Amino acid sequence: MAYQAVPLGRAGASWTFFLLAATWLLLLSIFHAFPAMDIAVSSFFFRGALCGGGAGCGSFAFGRYESIKLLRWALYVLPYIAAVAIVIAVTAGSLSKSIAAKMPMRRLWLSLATLGLSTGLIVNLLLKNHSGRPRPIQTSLFGGHMDFMPAGSFLGQCTSNCSFVSGEASGAGWLLCLMFLLPPKARLWFGWPVAIASVATAVLRVVVGAHYISDVILGFLMPIVVFSGLIALEQRIQTPAR
pLDDT computed for residue 56 by the predictor: 63
pLDDT above 80 (res 47): yes
Cβ-proximal residues to 135 (8 Å cutoff; 6+ apart), any chain: 144, 158, 162, 163, 209, 210, 211
pLDDT at 1 exceeding the cut of 80: no
State the pLDDT confidence band at 48, using cuts at 50, 70 and 90. confident
What residue ranges do the domains of the chain occupy?
A: 10-238
- 160 vs 7 pLDDT, higher one: 160
* Cβ count within 10 A of residue 190: 14
The per-residue pLDDT for range 191-225, each reduced to its tens digit, is 899 999 999 999 999 999 999 999 999 999 999 99
Check if the beta carbon of residue 104 is closer than 8 Å to that of residue 5: yes
User: So what's the pLDDT on residue 9?
Assistant: 56
Q: Which residues have C-beta within 8 Å of that of residue 173, sequence separation ≥ 6?
A: 198, 202, 219, 220, 221, 222, 223, 224
Average pLDDT, the chain: 90
For 103-137, write each residue's pLDDT tens digit. Answer: 889 999 999 999 999 999 999 999 999 999 999 99
Q: What is the DSSP letter of 45?
A: T
More confident residue, 234 or 203: 203
pLDDT at 43 over 80: yes
Q: Do residues 105 and 90 touch, judged by C-beta distance below 8 A?
A: yes
How does residue 157 score in pLDDT terms, banded at 50, 70 and 90? very high
pLDDT for res 10: 63
Coil, helix or strand at residue 47: strand
Lowest pLDDT segment from 16-20, 86-90, 179-183 = 179-183
Q: What is the mean pLDDT of residues 136-156?
A: 94
